[in-house]
Amino acid sequence: MGELYDRLAGDVRFVEGLKACLNCGTCTAICPAAEFYAYQPRQIVDILQTHDDQAIESLLKSETIWYCGECMSCVTRCPRGNAPGLLITVLRAASQDLGYFVESEKGRQQLAIKRTVGEWILDYGYCLYPSEILPEKHPEQGPVWEWEHEHIEEVMERLGANYKKTGPGILRKVPQEDLDEIRKIFDVTGGTARFNAIENYSKQKAGEMGIDLDDTLDNDYMKKIYTENSQNHGREL
Amino acid sequence: MGNRWVAPKRLLFSNSIKMDPQVIIIGAGIAGLTAAGALAEKGHHVLILEKEAQPGGHVAQWDRLFPSRRPGSEVLDHIRKIMDGRVEIKPGIRINGIIAHDQDFTVLTEEGTSYTGQALLIASGFRLFQAERKEEYGYGIYDNVITSAEVETVFKQGKKLLTSKGTLPQRVALIHCVGSRDEKVGNLYCSKVCCVTGVKQAIEIKEQLPQCEVFSFYMDMRMYDRHFEELYFEAQKQWGVQFIRGRLSECSEAPDQSLIIKTEDTLTGRPLRMIVDLVILLVGFVPEPETGKLVEMLGLSTGEDGFILPSDEHYNDNLTTVPGVFLAGAVKGPATISNTIADARAAALQIDSWLKTKP
Amino acid sequence: MKVEGKRRIWKDYQKEIADDRYFYVRSCVRQNFFPASEKMFFRILKEELGKDIFENAAHTTCSGIGYHSDVVPFETTMTMVARQFALMTESGYQNFTTSCITSFGLYTEILETWHHFPEVEARVRENLKKATGREFDKPSNLSHASDVIYKFRKEIGEKARYRLVNKQTGQPLRCVEHIGCHYSRMFPGKGVGGAEYPYVLAGMIEEWGGEVIDYPERRHCCGFGFRQYLIQANRGYSLSCSKKKFDSMAPYKPDLILTNCPGCPMFLDRWQYTLSEMEGTTYGENGQGIPVLTYEELAGLVLGYDPWDLGLQVHQVPAEPLLDKMGIPYDSNRKFLNRDGQSMGRPKAPSFLKFY
C-alpha cells in the first residue's frame, strides 16, 4: 500500500466513497461529464482500487479528475454503494495540496476559482457578489444582467435586498467581526494553507512557463487559465 | 427391537380417528411435490399445505425451461405422476402457528384446522423481485417495461410479444441483474438463474420475431451449468442476439412510449443511449415473505440474504437446527429446477432416514 | 405512463419537515440573481402562513460553491457549517432551513458524516471553539425551503387567486419540474419522493392545478458543475447539459419550468438565451423561451403578488407569456422602474429570443 493511497484512504469521504467496484458501468452511463468528455467515473474507481501509487499520481496530474461536475448522479445508481463523485473531491483536494494540479490545463484553472469564489468568501462572506460578476467576463448572463449590473443598487433595492447595509437581509454587509471569524476558521482548518498552496504552486508554474502572473485577476496567466481550452478533452470518435 | 412387530399407530386408529400424516410439507411447488413423491414411494404418508389456490409453484407459470427449452408442463406432469393418489394436497392454507412437541409437530392454520406430523419439510420457495422497487427502471410507470415472468406468460398463452400499443417490437432490451447484486435494493446476492433465462428468452424472442433486434445488457454471463455456455453461443451465432456488458442505469419514456435506456458499454468504455420498444427486466429471487413467519415460529435462522440457513451448507444442507424440520428448494436461496428436484429427493432421503429412527 | 406507479413511490419517501420556528440561511446564488424570491419566502411564511422564521445577521455562506469547486477543504467547510449551527443554537432555534439546494445537500452530507464518524464531529467542535469560541447543537430538523413550501402547498392553494390553468383553454398548464442534484441524489431518503421521482415540486404543481410533465432527460443535471461554469473555458459542459434537457422537453411543449435549486433556474434561464444567440434556437412558441421559475415566484404568482415584486423582471426569458396564460395582470410600464417609480432604462433585447 503506497503512501499516496494511504493519504487518500485517510479521508472519510474516501472511506464512504470506495467500497469495491464491479465495473457495471451504471455510473458512467448516467454521468454528464462522460457524455461530453473522455471521462468515465468507473475508470476513476478502478484505478483507485488498484492501490497503485504511480497510477494515482498520474491521475492527480491528469486532466481526467477535473471533468466531473460533482452532480452526484453516480452515487444514486451504484449497486455497490460506491461514490465516484466523492472520490473526485478527495482526488482534487490531494492534487492541490500536493501541487500536482498545475500539471494539467484544467487543474491550473483552480487559481482562478481561488482568486474569485475563494477570496469572495473571505472578503464578503458570500461565494458570489454582484459587483464581481462582470458582464464582460460573463456574456452568457445576457443583457438583463448587464442592465442589472449597471443599476445594481437600485435594482437590489427594488427587489427587497439589503445590499451592503447592516442588519439581516439579502446581500447585507456581513459584519467584519464575523468575516474575521471565517478567516480564523480557514487558518485553523487548513483552508488558508490550501489557498496558499494554490497560489504558490501556480506562481511556480507560471514562472516555469514564462508567463506573467501578478496578484490581480488580469494578467496573462489568469487570462490563459480562464479561457484556454485545447479542444482535446472529448472522446475519440 | 427384536422380533416383536409393533403395529404402526395409524393402523390401530385407522377408522375412527383422522390419520396423522408422517410428513407435513409446506409448499406445493416443484420442491414440495418432488419430495412428496419420493417419500410416498417409500411408503410414507405425506400431506402438503399450500397457500395458493393451485399447486405447482412458479414452474406452473413458466413456458419453456432452460437450457433445452422443453415445456415446463412436462416436468410438472412427470413429478405429479409420481405423487398422484398417494399424497394429499390442501390448497389455500395460511399457517399461523406451529407447535413443536416432543415427538411431532402441530401446524395450526388461519382457517382453524390443525395437522400433526412427525416431520416437517419447509419447501415454501421464493418470490420474484418486485421490479417497481428498482425505481430508476420505471416498471409500473412506463408501459413498455415488463418482466421476464410476463414474457413467460405471453409465450405460455401462445401469444405474440407486443408493445403496449399492440405493435410488434422492432428492438428489445433484456436487462440482467434486476433486484440482484444490488446494495440499493438490499439484495447483494446473485440470483443464479436469470442470466440463462435471459439467453433463453432472447432466443425465444428471435424465434418468434426474426426481424426484431435483441440486445442483452449484462454484468457477467453466469453460464455455469451443463449446456448453458452452448446456449449462449447459439444465441449469438445462430440467432444474432447482441450482448453488451453494461448494467442498465436508467430507463425513461419517449413521447411515443418507446424507451430510452442509458448504459455504458464497459468493454469499449463508452456511455451508450439506445431507444427500444420493450425493456424486459430479468428479475431475481427474493425470500418468500411468508417463510419469515415459519422461521419465527420454529426458531430457525436466516442468512444475511434473508433465505433460511441449513444446519450445514455442505453436508447437512437439508437439515435445520431443529430436529425433524427439513428444508428443500429455493427456500434456501436461488436454485435451478434441476437443482431443486435433486435437492428435494435428497431431503426426502434424509426425512426417510430420520423417520426410521422414530418409534 | 401510469402515474399510479409514481404515487406508490412517492408514498415510500416521506420525510419530516418542521412546521414552524425556522432558522433560515441564505443562498449565495439566489441573493445575487433571485433576491426577490428570498424576500417572498419570508413574506409567505410570515404574512400568509403566520410562521416564525428567523435570520441571524452574522451568518455567512456555507462555502458550498467553494467546496464543490474544490478550493475550500472539507474540514473548513464542515467548520463553517458548524458555525452556522452555532448561530442557530445561540438564536434559540432547532429547525434549520436552507435557501440553497447545494447547502441542503452539504448540511445533510455533513450531518451523516458526523453520525458515522463521531471523531470527525469532535474535531470540528474543537476547531470551531479554537477559531471562534463558539459551540453548537445539531439541528433537530433540517429542511430545504422548497420542502417548507411543499408542506404548506394546500394552505397556499386555498388562498390562491390564480391557478396553474390556461385561462383561454381551461387546460392545466404543462409544467416541467426540475430538482437540484444535491437535493436527494446522495441521500434519496432525505428528499420528498426520493431521487427518481421527487415529489417536492410535483406536489406544488398538482396542488395548484397544473399538470406535471415527464420527459426523458428529466433527471439530467442542468449542468452547473461548479467549476464547469465558473471557468469560461469549461462552460461548454454546462451549456450542453441544459441543451440536452431543452431538446428533450421541447416536444412536450411545456408552459413553464419550475425549479428548487438556486443555480438551476439561473442556468435554465440564461442558457436558453445563449443558445438563441449561438444557434437561433428558441424553445417556446413563436420565438419565445420557456419561462423558468423558482418555487417562491410560482407560489407568489398563485397568491396574487405583483410579478415585478416577485423579481420576474430580472429573468432573461420573460415570464409574460406565462402570466398571460394564467390571466395574471401586469403593468409592462412598471417593469423596469426602481422602488421610487423612476425609470432605470431597459435591458437590450436579445437577437432572437423574444423580450418584453
Same domain as B258, residue B199: yes
Contact by Cβ (8 Å): B21, B47: yes
CB proximity A27 to B under 8 Å? yes
The pLDDT tens digits of the residues spanning A25-59 come to: 999 999 999 999 999 999 999 999 999 999 999 99
The answer to whether the CB atoms of C271 and A186 lie below 8 A apart is: no
Task: Please give the tally of structural domains in chain B.
Answer: 2
Same domain as B326, residue B253: no
Check residue A1 and give its pLDDT.
60
Min Cα–Cα distance to chain C from B179, Å? 16
Nearest partner of B17 among B147, B141, B116, B140, judged by Cα: B116
Q: Which of these three, B285, B311, B327, is where a domain ends?
A: B285
Whether the pLDDT of residue C135 is over 90: the answer is yes
Q: Is residue B2 part of a domain?
A: no
Same domain as A73, residue A20: yes
Whether the pLDDT of residue B17 is over 50: the answer is no
Whether the pLDDT of residue A77 is over 90: the answer is yes
Residues of B in contact with A31 (CB under 8 A): 271
Q: ∠ CA(A119), CA(A120), CA(A122), 5° rounding? A: 70
Task: Please give the tally of structural domains in chain A.
Answer: 3
Check residue B3 and give its pLDDT.
42
CA R_g for chain C: 20
Q: Is 0.90 surpassed by the pTM of this model?
A: yes
Residues of C in contact with A196 (CB under 8 A): none
Min Cα–Cα distance to chain B from C301, Å? 30
Q: Is residue A114 part of a domain?
A: no
Same domain as B281, residue B151: yes
* Residue B7 DSSP symbol: P
| Strand duo B105-109 + B95-100: pairing | antiparallel
The answer to whether the CB atoms of C239 and A140 lie below 8 A apart is: yes
Contact by Cβ (8 Å): C87, C80: no
Contacts of A99 (CB under 8 A, 6+ apart): A197, A201, A204
**Longest Cα pair distance anywhere in chain C, in angstroms?**
63
Using CA atoms, how far apart are residues B223 and B221, in angstroms rounded to an integer? 6
Q: Is residue B1 part of a domain?
A: no
Length of chain B: 359
Return the H-helix or E-strand segment holding C243. helix C235-249
Using the structure block, give the residue that is written with the C-alpha cell 406445493: B28
Residues of B in contact with A74 (CB under 8 A): none
Same domain as B275, residue B187: yes
Instruction: Report the SS3 class of residue A146.
Output: helix
Residue in chain B nearest A76 by alpha carbon: B184
Q: Which of these three, B267, B285, B303, is where a domain ends?
A: B285
Whether the pLDDT of residue B264 is over 80: the answer is yes
The answer to whether the CB atoms of B184 and A235 lie below 8 A apart is: no
Q: Is residue B113 part of a domain?
A: yes
Return the H-helix or E-strand segment holding C300. helix C295-303
Q: Is residue A119 part of a domain?
A: no
Residue in chain C nearest B139 by alpha carbon: C5
Mean pLDDT of C321-330: 97
The answer to whether the CB atoms of A25 and B136 lie below 8 A apart is: no
Residue type, C291: P
List C residues 47-106 in contact with B (Cβ-Cβ < 8 A).
none
Same domain as B138, residue B273: yes
Same domain as B28, residue B154: no
Same domain as A75, residue A140: no
Min Cα–Cα distance to chain A from B262, Å? 6
Return the H-helix or E-strand segment holding C118. helix C118-132
Min Cα–Cα distance to chain B from A12, Å? 20
Same domain as A86, residue A8: yes
**In chain C, which segments carry CATH 1.20.1050.140?**
18-145
Please, which chains are in contact with A (at least 3 CB pairs closer than 8 A)? B, C
Mean pLDDT of chain B: 93
Crossing angle of the two packed helices A176-189 and A191-209, in degrees rounded to 10: 70
CB proximity C214 to B under 8 Å? yes
Same domain as B274, residue B149: yes
**In chain C, which segments carry CATH 3.40.50.11810?**
154-334
C80, C130, C188 member nearest A182 (Cβ):
C80
CB proximity A47 to B under 8 Å? no
Whether the pLDDT of residue C22 is over 90: the answer is yes
The answer to whether the CB atoms of A121 and C348 lie below 8 A apart is: no
Nearest partner of A16 among A96, A72, A66, A57, judged by Cα: A72
CB proximity A237 to B under 8 Å? no
CB proximity C196 to B under 8 Å? yes
The answer to whether the CB atoms of A169 and C274 lie below 8 A apart is: no
CA R_g for chain A: 20
Same domain as A181, residue A151: no
Q: Is residue A19 part of a domain?
A: yes
Beta-carbon neighbour count of residue B71 at 10 Å?
13
Contact by Cβ (8 Å): A58, B280: no
Using the structure block, give the residue that is written with the C-alpha cell 450531518: C111
Q: Which residues of B touch C (CB under 8 A)?
A: 132, 135-136, 138-143, 250, 252-255, 257, 260
B249, B265, B270 member nearest A26 (Cβ):
B249
The answer to whether the CB atoms of B247 and A78 lie below 8 A apart is: no
The pLDDT tens digits of the residues spanning B205-214 come to: 999 999 999 9
Same domain as A99, residue A84: yes
Q: Is residue A117 part of a domain?
A: no
How far the first Cα of chain A sits from its last, in Å, is: 37
Q: Is residue A236 part of a domain?
A: no
Contact by Cβ (8 Å): B35, B345: yes
Share of chain C above pLDDT 90, in %: 96
* Residue C52 DSSP symbol: -
Check residue B4 and give its pLDDT.
44
Contact by Cβ (8 Å): C325, C173: yes
Residues of B in contact with A81 (CB under 8 A): 183-184
| Residue A57 structural domain | 3-106
CATH code of residue B81: 3.50.50.60
Using CA atoms, how far apart are residues A122 and A117, in angstroms rounded to an integer? 9
Check residue B93 and give its pLDDT.
96
Whether the pLDDT of residue B13 is over 60: the answer is no
Same domain as A159, residue A96: no
Q: Please, which pLDDT band fits residue C9 given cuts at 50, 70 and 90?
A: confident
Using CA atoms, how far apart are residues B248 and B251, in angstroms rounded to an integer? 8
Nearest partner of B67 among B248, B222, B246, judged by Cα: B222
CB pairs under 8 A between A and C: 269
Whether the pLDDT of residue C55 is over 50: the answer is yes
Residues of A in contact with B271 (CB under 8 A): 28-29, 31, 34-35, 40
Same domain as B254, residue B310: no
> In this structure, what C-alpha cell is assigned to residue C330?
401586469
The answer to whether the CB atoms of B269 and A30 lie below 8 A apart is: no
Same domain as B259, residue B184: yes
The answer to whether the CB atoms of A77 and B250 lie below 8 A apart is: yes
CA R_g for chain B: 23
Check residue A236 and give its pLDDT.
77
C73, C236, C270 member nearest A190 (Cβ):
C73
| Domain C154-334 = CATH 3.40.50.720 | no
Check residue B19 and give its pLDDT.
63
Residue in chain B nearest A77 by alpha carbon: B249
Residue in chain A nearest B186 by alpha carbon: A79
Complex ipTM value: 0.97
Same domain as B307, residue B279: no
The pLDDT tens digits of the residues spanning B104-134 come to: 999 999 989 999 999 999 999 999 999 999 9
| Residue B135 structural domain | 131-285
Whether the pLDDT of residue B14 is over 70: the answer is no
The CATH fold assigned to C18-145 is Glutathione S-transferase Yfyf (Class Pi); Chain A, domain 2 (1.20.1050)
> In this structure, what C-alpha cell is assigned to residue C23?
432558522
Same domain as B115, residue B65: yes
Mean pLDDT of B1-10: 44
Check residue A235 and give its pLDDT.
85
Please, which chains are in contact with B (at least 3 CB pairs closer than 8 A)? A, C
Q: How far is CA B255 from the centre of its chain?
A: 37
The answer to whether the CB atoms of A190 and C270 lie below 8 A apart is: no
Using the structure block, give the residue that is written with the C-alpha cell 456511455: B271
Min Cα–Cα distance to chain B from A113, Å? 30
Same domain as B180, residue B136: yes
Q: Which of these three, B246, B270, B285, is where a domain ends?
A: B285
The answer to whether the CB atoms of B247 and A40 lie below 8 A apart is: no
Same domain as A200, residue A130: no
Contact by Cβ (8 Å): C45, C17: no
Mean pLDDT of C255-268: 97
CB proximity B42 to A under 8 Å? no
Same domain as A131, residue A192: no
Q: How far is CA C296 from the centre of its chain?
A: 8
Q: Is residue A81 part of a domain?
A: yes
Check residue B12 and give its pLDDT.
40
Check residue C10 and give its pLDDT.
86
Nearest partner of B36 among B326, B350, B344, judged by Cα: B344
Whether the pLDDT of residue B8 is over 60: the answer is no
Q: Is residue A237 part of a domain?
A: no
What is C119-159 written as a DSSP string? HHHHHHHHHHHHHH----PPPSEEEEHHHHHHHTHHHHHHT
Whether the pLDDT of residue C198 is over 90: the answer is yes
List A residues 68-97 in contact with B (Cβ-Cβ < 8 A).
76-81
The answer to whether the CB atoms of C2 and B140 lie below 8 A apart is: yes
The answer to whether the CB atoms of B266 and A23 lie below 8 A apart is: yes
Mean pLDDT of B15-27: 74
Mean pLDDT of C31-48: 98
Share of chain A above pLDDT 90, in %: 97
> In this structure, what C-alpha cell is assigned to residue B317?
444442507
Contacts of B13 (CB under 8 A, 6+ apart): B19
Same domain as A184, residue A164: no
Min Cα–Cα distance to chain C from B183, Å? 14
Using CA atoms, how far apart are residues A159 and A148, in angstroms rounded to an integer? 11
The answer to whether the CB atoms of B264 and A25 lie below 8 A apart is: yes
Whether the pLDDT of residue B1 is over 80: the answer is no
Among B6-15, B125-134, B213-222, name the one with the lowest average pLDDT.
B6-15
> In this structure, what C-alpha cell is assigned to residue A177?
467581526
Residues of A in contact with C63 (CB under 8 A): 121, 127
Helices (H), ranges, chain A: 3-9, 12-17, 26-30, 32-36, 41-49, 53-61, 73-77, 84-97, 105-108, 110-113, 119-124, 142-150, 152-158, 176-189, 191-209, 220-227
The answer to whether the CB atoms of A71 and C128 lie below 8 A apart is: no
